[in-house]
Each structure stands twice: as C-alpha cells, then as structure tokens.
Chain A
Amino acid sequence: MKRALIITGITLGSLLLVLIAAVLIVIYIVFTPDRITPIARQAAAEYITCEHEIGEVDLTFFSTFPRFGLRADGLLLINPKAGSQNDTVVSAPRFTATVDVMEFVNNKRLVIHEAILDDASVNFFIAPDGTTNLTDVFVTSPDTTDTTAFSLPFDELRVDGLRIAARGITFVDAKDTIDASLGFTELSAKAASWDDMLIGLDAQDVCAHIKGKTYADSLHVELIAPLAMNLDAMHFRFDGARLAINDFNLRIEGETTIGDSIALDVQLETDKWQIKPLLALVPQTFTKSLSDLDIDGTLQLEATAQGYYADSVMPHIQAHLVLKDGEGKYKPLPYTLRNVKIDADADLRMNKGEQSSVTIRTLEAKTKKSAVAANGTVDDLLGNMLMDMHLTLDANLPDFAYFYPKNMTLNGRAKGKANARIRLDDLTAMRLEKGRIDADLNLSDIRYATDSMEAELPLTHARIHLPNPKPSKPKLNWARIDLETDKVDFSMLTPLKAALKASTIQLETGNVLSNDPVLCAAVALQSDRPIEVETDSMGGAIDAPNLKAYVEYNTKSETGLEKAQANMRFDGLEGFFKDIRADLKASDLSATVSGGKSIRAKLSTRALKAKMGEELDAKTGDLSLEASARYNSKGENELLKWNPRLKINLKNGELNMPERLPEPVYIPSIDFKYSNREMDIADARVELGNSDLNLKGNVRNIGKWFRHKAILEGQLDIVSDHCDANQLLAWFSADSGSEEVSESSEKSESSEKSEITNDQSPITNDADKASEPFMVPTDVDLALNTHMREVEIFNQVAKDLKGGLYVKDGKLILDEMGFVCRAAKLQLTAMYRTPWRDHIYLGLDYHMIDIDIDELLTMIPNLEEMVPMLSSFKGAAQFHLAAETYTDENYQPKISTLRGAASLTGKDLVVMDSKTFSKISKLLLFKKKTENKIDSINAEMTVYKDQIDVYPLCVQMDNYMVALGGRHKTDMTFDYDINVLSPIYLGVHVGGNMDNLKIKLAKCKYAKDFKPHWYQKADTQSLELRQMIKQSMEKNVRIQ
C-alpha cells in the first residue's frame, strides 16, 4: 500500500510539474506584458470612448492562483464634464481582476472571481441635464433613435470577491444639488446573484450635502449589508444590514427604490446610543424642531420608515424610543429635568398637512424638588404640541414659579394626580384656560401671595378643574377648586382679612393669570366653625356659616372691591361696615356691595343689634329687613350720605338716637318702609318715653328735609293709650323761630352757627336749649290724627282725646281736639305760632260743657284772675273762651296783645260764704242762710289788654234781683257795680283789691238793662254785645 501511494504521488507530482512548466512557458514566453498590453489597450479603445490610459497589462497566476487573472497598472479614465468636480472619473494605480470570460461570452453571465482596485480615486458627476461623466465613457449604439433603456450586457452576475480601496470617492449631482464625498473607503462585495449580495463598506470622512443642507459631516460609516438589487428598477433590498455611523450602530432591514423619489420601507434598530452626540449627527432638517431641547441620556430606538422621500415628501416614520438616565432642558422653561425615563412611541408624519404624535407609555422626571410621572399622548409633535397627559405629582410648588404671574408667590407642596390636555404654547404662555387640567391633590403648607392678596392653607385636599366645567357665572369659567381644609387664612391689600377653620370650600375664579386687573371669584363655603373677615371699612365674625359669595376685585382701583354678592346662612354674626356695627343671631342674609358705594341686603334674623356712628343705636327681636343704600360723600350726615332704603318688619325693637331724642324709643312691633324720599308706616307701635303710640301713615321728603331743601310732609294716624305731651314737646323743639329762619337765610345761608349775639342768639348747649321756647319748624307739614285715651298735658290728665294736630307753615294747630277730663267735656282748637323767639302767638278756642268750676279753676289758674268772682261759686257751668296773646320767650304774656272773649253759663250755682259777699249781704240786709243757690247765671266778658270787662249780668236770689258788672284788671284791681234792682233800687260800687276793698254807694247804672220799663227806651247795646259774644262762642262747639 505504501508503495502504491508513493508511486501515485510521484506520478501526480510529475504531472503538476509538467503543468506548471507549461503555464510558466505560456505566461513568460507566450503571454508577456508586451504582447498582452497592446491587446488590452486595443480592446479598451474599442469599448472606451473617453480619454483613458492603461498601463502595463499582465497576466497573473501566482497572485490569482489557481486562476489566471489580469493585472493592469495605471488605469485612468478621464471624461471632462462641465461643472464636474474632477475630470478624472477613475484613477487606479493597479487593477486586478479574475473574470470568467467564457461565461460572459457564452452565457452572458458576468463572473468575477476576484476584482481588486487599490488606492483608487473615483469621481462621479451628474450634470444638471441629467447626463453623467460615465454616460459616454463606453461605446454606445450609433442609432440615436434607439430609445430603449440602458441594459446591462450580462444577465447574471456572480462576484466571488470584489474589493475596491479608494483614497477618495466623490459624488456630485448638480441636478439635485447633492454633494457627497468619502475619504478612505474600502468597499467589498460578494454576490452569488443579483438577489444574493453582500456589500461591505468602510468609509472615513463621509460628508453629504443636499441642497445646501448638511446631512453628513466627517462621519465614519461602516456597512455590512446583505443586499439584493435590481439595477434596472434601482430597487435594493437589505436583509439585516448593519450600519455603524461613528459609534452609533444600527441594524437595517427593508428595501428602497431610487427613482425620481426614493421609496422606502425600512426598519431600523439601534443599539443604546447617547443622545447628545447623536443629535450632533442628525441632519438639522430633522432636529430643527428640537432646537430648543437640550437633552442627554441613553437612547434606544426602533423605527420604521415607509413612504417616499423627495423634495417635498417625507416618509412616514414610526419609532419606539426608550430613554434612560436622561437629562433635559427645554429652553423656554427654566427647568432641568433629571432622572428622566421615557418609553414612548413616536409617529412622525412630516408632510404638509400631516401631524406627528408621540405616545408616552412612561415618563418620569425630577426637577428641583419635584417629581412627576406621566403617561399620555402628544399630538402635533412637530407643530404646536397638544399634550394629553396623566400625571402623578409630588410637587414643590415654588419649583413652578415660572408658570406663575410675576407678582405671585406660591409655596407649599402638592401631591396627587392630574390630567392635563393643553398645547405647549398655551402652557408656556400660561393660557391655561385654552387647555383642560383636572387635578386631585393633597396640599400642605400652602402659602399663596400676590401684590394684593395672601392665603395660607396648612392642610387641604383640593380638586382643581381648569376650565371650570360648570361655571355659575360666565366670568367664572377659568377655574374651579374644591377644597376641604382644616384652616384658611386669607388677606388682601385693601385690607381684607379672612380666617376659616374646618371648612368645605368651592371656589370658582376668572382668569387670575391674565392682565385683566379685575379679578372675579365665587365662593361656596360650609363650616361648623366661625369665619372672620375684616377690611379697613368692613369686618365680621360669622358663626357656622353656609355661604355663597361672588366678588369682583379691581387690583388697580382705589376702591378695590367693585362688586360683592353673598348669600349666607349662619348661627351668628358680629360685624361692622364703616361706622355701622351689627350683631345678628341665626339669620339668612343676602347682600350685594358694588364699588364700595352701594349696598343691597336682605336679612331675616331672630335678633339684631346695630349701631351707626353716634347717631343711631338699634336692637330688635325677630327682624325681616330689606335694605339698599348708595353712598354719596357729599351728604351732610350719615342718612344723606347713604340714602338708605329700608323695608322692615320687626318685633321687640329699641332705637336710640341721642342727637335727636334723649331717651330710647321702644318698638314692640313695626312694619314700615323707609327711604329718604318717603317713609310709609303700615303699622308701628312705639313707646317714646312715657308715651305709647301706634302709628300709621307716611312721611315724605325726609332726605330733602335733612338738607333743608324741602318741606317734611306727612299724614300720620296716632292712637295712644297714654301720652306724655309735656315730654314730647320738650324733645321735638326746633332751634329757631319761623321769622328768624327767613331773616337768617337772607343774611347768611351757609352759616348754621349764627352770628347773632343779642338775646335772640341761638342756644349752643343743652342746658340753655332746655329753657328756650318750643319753636315750630317751618319746614314741616305734618298732619297727626290722634286718638289718645289718656294725655298728660301741663298739670292735667285728659281722657279720650281725639282730633287733629297739624304742623304747617310754622304753626302748630290743634284742631277741634276734644277730650274728657275731671273738670269738663272739652273741645279745644288752639294755635301755637312762633314767628319770633320772643314773640310767640298762642290762641285758643276753648269750649267746656258740664263743667265742675273747682276743677276748672285748677285747670286754668289764670281764669281766676280774669273772673275772680268764679272763686265764689261752685257747681256746674258751661264755659266758652276765645282768647289769644303773644308771649315772650318765657311764655309770659305780652299784656298789650291779650285779647279774648268768654261766656259762662251756670245753673244752680251755689255762692260760697266769702268775706266779700258777707259784707255785701249785711249791707243789703240779706237773710242769712247756710246755702244760697242761684238759679242761673249768664256772664259774658271781654279781655282787652289788662282789662277784663264783665258785661252786666243779672242774678236772682231770695227776694232780690241783683245786677252786677264791671271791670277787672290783671293787677287784681277791680271795679264792680252791684245794683239791687228788687225790691228797691240800690247801687253799690266795689273797688280796689282784695286787701283794700272800697265799697261805696253808687247809682244803679244797670237798671236800664234789666228793668227797662222805667225808661222809655231800653239800652240794648250791652245786651246785643253779650249776645254777640255768646253766639260767636257757641258756633264752634262740636262736642255734645
């Protein structure tokens, strides 16, 4: 066996040696470079039309063993083209190829066993007209009409090894403005067929510019790409290509077709990339929209690109992005995000009219002292991003100061969840109302402050909705906040302070971030604890409130509070507004305040206490009140400043007005309406001092009356069980007389404090005021219809007083006031007029029937001065008096003005046993009896100045007829004539005074009056005057 093998080996070796020898002979003797080179050059010249050079061409065996190859040195193709970057198309120092020529000739099958091009330089150029610098390099068909497409001269391809090493490759497409270059490049290729190719590329310094934009700059590109290609269709398919650009590796699968546009259906998958260096590589076209982003981290991307790439067309790109350890900054926002994790899907559609979006499965980030986790979607990614995010927040609120208005500070912590749907532009511009934000947060240590307000909430659960889904008013459409808090301290600059405990609050607001200086807010609040509110002019503590309020506050207005509305129910309230103080028990209150100058309120309360400056102090039991007021700073007093309108129904009221009334007014019940124009009393029971009054009626022109511009008019019906008239007159006296008012108004209307310094000077202190006479106001026109069951007047008590009391034109008129007292039934018409303080008019029309004379003299002491003889009588009488006088300021009569007439009728009068009468009776020899009765007496008298003239009257007594008459003076001197007319004529004159009585005999001057038969003519003048007086007296009697 061994021998056989030796023999076989020797045989084969010999054959090989023979063969080698034969080849060597062929190569070195037959196919020498000198023989082959011309042949190659000649053959090249037949196929290459452009300038070219071929160096020595040699046949290779050992370098291409076991096949014969061809080596050409100095290969050069030169095809100048206008605009080309280089006339040289290809230059290569050496080209070696092993080609199966017989396959190409016989089967049109290009089989390249090996092709090596070393150190080549390649320049491809496409002219603007579409021609290339390769177009006319090779011989083409002379038939120019041939329009068939270029086709390869071989049908199949097989490349066992192709290696091109170039020191530089350039590509310029002047038509599409493409400029690309590769530095040292090594290209390798293998191809079993067009569908089974493997391309390898390692290119340094890869640059690419398209239409002036840089798409690659000094990149190192490595590519290993299994490839299938169809050059006719320019269709390429990559099956698991691996591309590395610089340090960024990715795998590509897919296919593309290059034509007028590039059709893509490519998937790529990257390794973990660092973002920052990656972004530096990405063409600006793709990163333009991310110019404001400064991000870094580890990124892994899976993406697909489908579609076309052309001038104005971009393919559809879908990507799945995972970012870890990210850090980022968005220039418009002063935030640096740390520990960013993102797991997101991007859908990029970059054609016109299309929108890109991102679906964020996970986004976590931290910034400053806050952390957020989110998921959601971002639509219109490359435009105005629309974010629809679901966030979990643990936010340190000061971290977000960027979003707050410049004048706003917000401290505290918010933890919870939020949903936000808003565009990025709106978010960065704080147009939050354009989006939608819903949050459920636990707030702690919240402190909110702006230039004009502050709020502190230690612990609060808040639900926030922007915009307000159900605004109670159109202006409150910006936000709704529901709070459950243990405490709120709130203050505003006006100043306004409020403190709440354990409350549930619903807050609706207008846009607090806008430039509108008017802030609107509505609050609904329920609390079991009191709230305290205070401004410089208003404040209060409200117990267990249930409040709904609406406020408009102007931060740039002096008044600040433009409008406030509130509806509130509470167990108690203590408050003040300017100088009005109030204290209410369980109540329902609704109020509106506008511009700090008008108020409307409705109140229903079980009890109220209120105080207005020093002018008014009131308290009530059950009270129902509707009020409105409009502030006018020009008003002379609080009522005129506020112009209140009131509708009041109250029980158990008490009113103090110390400037007007010295004692409180008690109001058991009242139902009335008040405005400065009119007060209408439907029913009012009032207790004024010692008097009780039941009032109905109305009073008009109150405000104008206070301003002294109108007359106070009114009609009131007054019913009283008891009235102290003396007390009421003292309370309501005016300051000056009616004529004095007109005189002083002519002199100086502006001066309330008179310049008069004589006795008529006005009183300036209460003590002096008390001694002044009552001056009837001239600006009052009031009618009081009265029915008083009991009245204290002067030193008498009158019963069942009815009549009218009128105040008009500076007169106080008691019109046919009738009443019953101990002395008589009375009817009185009286006038009290005060033209001057020291010239006061008092007039009476006075009727008394069923008189008790004793009581009469007690009631009218001055009557005894006028009719001294009355003191001598007792019994029943009728009395009529018309009298008037002027008085001084102390009510002392000016005697020169005293005028009057009186009529006295008596029946069954008993003459008392007086000293005077006893002297007379002795002189006239009367019988002495224990009681003397005069059947009747009719006395008429006139009063003129200090004289009372008693017209002659006749008295029948015993057997005697006595006439008497005379004159009485106010100094208590008198002159009376007593004439005995029966049984004899005898006259006595009584004169002097009670201490110095002078009695003397005199003529019977009254005989002609009562015994006319002695004379031919009766003297009727006296009788006529007496009848005239009596008739004038009795004509005005109304009482029965």
Chain B
Amino acid sequence: MKNEVNRAQDGQRKTFFPLVAKTRYFRLVLMALVSIAFSGCEMFDKKTESFSQSDLHGLWLEEGTQHYVRFLSEKADTATFEWGKEWDVAQKVTEDKLVYHGNGWFKYELKENKLKEIHMMDNDGAVIYQGYVVTLLTGKRLEYYKEGYKNEKQYYNKVVQ
C-alpha cells in the first residue's frame, strides 16, 4: 500500500504514528523511565571485602614506577589514623628530602576496604583528602583504585628491606 501523507483539510501533516506526535504524555513517561534508570540507586551494590590496616605497614613500590609508599605504624593525631609517606625517585625526590609531617606525608586509615589518606603540606595551608578502595592486600602485593575510578587500579609490590 502506498504510504501517503494524509493531509487534513487544514493542511496539517499527518504522521504514521499520530498518537506519538500528538501526546506529550509519552515524553513524560519517557523521562520518568530515564530518571529511574540514571538515579544513583545502590540496590545492586555488591558486598565489600575487609582488610587489616596493619597489613599495610612497610615499604611498597608502585609497579612500573619509582614511586615508593611507606606505611608506618606511627600514630597520627586520631585513634585510628597512622602516618605514612611517599616519594617519587624519578622526580628526584628521595625519602630523606621529605620534611617531617610535611609534603609527602599523609595520615591513613583502612576500614574494611576503604583506604582514607589525608595528605599534608609543608606550609600547613590545607589538607588534601584522597579516598581509595583496596581490592588486594597481601604480604607482597597491594592493589587499590581511587574512589569512582575503578578502572584505574594501582599496583604495589612490597619492598623487602
């Protein structure tokens, strides 16, 4: 059958789906569905793993870099936070060049799989929060990613001293 444009006497164009072209309700339903789809619903969140903070203690080297992280058992100014420090030898930053509790130092806390790091500044101007999700922590290996960036994992190997 020939698909003819059936024109009304006023010349208004008629489409094949007149119901869709005329009603705005469809738009509303569509937007509702989209909203539900894009809402930050956590009903499908998975169950989290749990790691021990003491397993972090020691010196770690990020794989493929000269970035070192040392998690210390030295208590910071809160009950659970402890001190750590990091440096990148590739940028000519060595551990002895770090100012005590300054730039390169951080307070850290590992609860379940959430690793919180509060990074310090030499001039005490501000503190910088970094949150990570630990996916693996053994005596030799550490893996985590930054919150919200699951695809950007960082891998560390324990340095035997």
Same complex origin of A and B: yes
Q: Which of A895, A897, A1004, A1008 has the most CB of B within 10 A?
A: A897
Q: Any chain B CB within 8 A of the CB of A161? A: no
Write out, one digit per residue, whether chain B residues 121-141 have a CB within 8 A of any chain A CB (1) or not (0).
111011111100000000000
Chain A residues in 8 Å Cβ range of B128: 899-901, 942-944
Whether the pair A1002, B91 counts as a contact (CB closer than 8 A) is no
Whether the pair B91, A897 counts as a contact (CB closer than 8 A) is yes
Specify which of A883, A894, A944, A1029 is in contact with B91 (CB 8 Å cutoff): A894
Q: Any chain A CB within 8 A of the CB of B12? A: no
Write out, one digit per residue, whether chain B residues 101-138 have a CB within 8 A of any chain A CB (1) or not (0).
00110000000000000011111011111100000000
How many residues does chain B have at the interface if contact means C-beta atoms less than 8 Å apart? 29
Q: Any chain B CB within 8 A of the CB of A631? A: no
Chain A residues in 8 Å Cβ range of B38: 985-987, 1001-1004
Q: Which of A835, A896, A967, A1033 has the most CB of B within 10 A?
A: A896
Whether the pair B149, A896 counts as a contact (CB closer than 8 A) is no
Q: Known: A836-B97, A838-B92, A894-B93. Contact between A944 and B130, CB under 8 A?
A: yes
How many Å lie between the Cα of A507 and that of B149 in the bound state? 100
Whether the pair B40, A886 counts as a contact (CB closer than 8 A) is no
Q: Is the interface of A mostly helix, strand, loop or mixed?
A: strand
Q: Known: A839-B92, A942-B128, A1007-B39. Contact between A884 and B34, CB under 8 A?
A: no
How many Å lie between the Cα of A835 and that of B126 in the bound state? 22
Specify which of B34, B39, B87, B125 is in contact with A896 (CB 8 Å cutoff): B87
Q: Which of B69-98 contact A (CB under 8 A)?
A: 86-88, 91-93, 97
Whether the pair A900, B93 counts as a contact (CB closer than 8 A) is no
Chain B residues in 8 Å Cβ range of A975: 149
Closest to B97 in A: A839
How many Å lie between the Cα of A987 and that of B41 in the bound state? 13
How many Å lie between the Cα of A886 and that of B103 in the bound state? 9
How many Å lie between the Cα of A883 and that of B67 in the bound state? 21
Whether the pair A986, B35 counts as a contact (CB closer than 8 A) is yes
Chain A residues in 8 Å Cβ range of B88: 894, 896
CB distance from B135 to the nearest CB of A (A): 20
Closest to B35 in A: A985
How many Å lie between the Cα of A645 and that of B64 in the bound state? 64
Whether the pair B123, A888 counts as a contact (CB closer than 8 A) is no
Q: Which of A998-1040 contact B (CB under 8 A)?
A: 1001-1005, 1007-1008, 1014, 1025, 1028-1029, 1032-1033
Chain A residues in 8 Å Cβ range of B91: 888, 894-897
Chain A residues in 8 Å Cβ range of B159: none
Chain A residues in 8 Å Cβ range of B20: none
Q: Known: A896-B93, A900-B128, A944-B128. Contact between A843 and B123, CB under 8 A?
A: yes
Whether the pair A845, B103 counts as a contact (CB closer than 8 A) is no
How many Å lie between the Cα of A1007 and that of B40 in the bound state? 7
Chain B residues in 8 Å Cβ range of A897: 91, 93, 103-104
Closest to A893 in B: B91
How many Å lie between the Cα of A1014 and that of B88 in the bound state? 44
Chain A residues in 8 Å Cβ range of B40: 1003-1005, 1007-1008
Chain A residues in 8 Å Cβ range of B31: 984
CB distance from B52 to the nearest CB of A (A): 23
Q: Which of B8-62 contact A (CB under 8 A)?
A: 31, 34-35, 38-40
Whether the pair A882, B93 counts as a contact (CB closer than 8 A) is no
Closest to A833 in B: B122
Whether the pair A839, B122 counts as a contact (CB closer than 8 A) is no
Chain A residues in 8 Å Cβ range of B103: 841, 884, 886, 897, 899
Closest to B104 in A: A897
Q: Which of A863-902 contact B (CB under 8 A)?
A: 882-884, 886, 888, 894-897, 899-901
CB distance from A993 to the nearest CB of B (A): 16
Whether the pair A882, B34 counts as a contact (CB closer than 8 A) is no
How many Å lie between the Cα of A831 and that of B124 in the bound state? 12
CB distance from A516 to the nearest CB of B (A): 70
How many Å lie between the Cα of A515 and that of B93 in the bound state? 77
Chain B residues in 8 Å Cβ range of A835: 97
Closest to B124 in A: A882
Closest to A830 in B: B123
Q: Which of A882, A883, A967 has the most CB of B within 10 A?
A: A882
Whether the pair B93, A886 counts as a contact (CB closer than 8 A) is yes
Which residues of B are at the interface with A, using a C-beta cutoff of 8 A?
A: 31, 34-35, 38-40, 67, 86-88, 91-93, 97, 103-104, 119-123, 125-130, 148-149
Residue pairs across A and B with Cβ atoms less than 8 A apart, 13 shown, are A835-B97, A838-B92, A884-B122, A895-B91, A897-B93, A897-B103, A899-B119, A985-B39, A986-B38, A1014-B39, A1025-B129, A1028-B127, A1032-B126
Besides A839-B92, A888-B91, 5 other A-B contacts (C-beta < 8 A): A883-B125, A896-B86, A901-B127, A1003-B38, A1004-B40
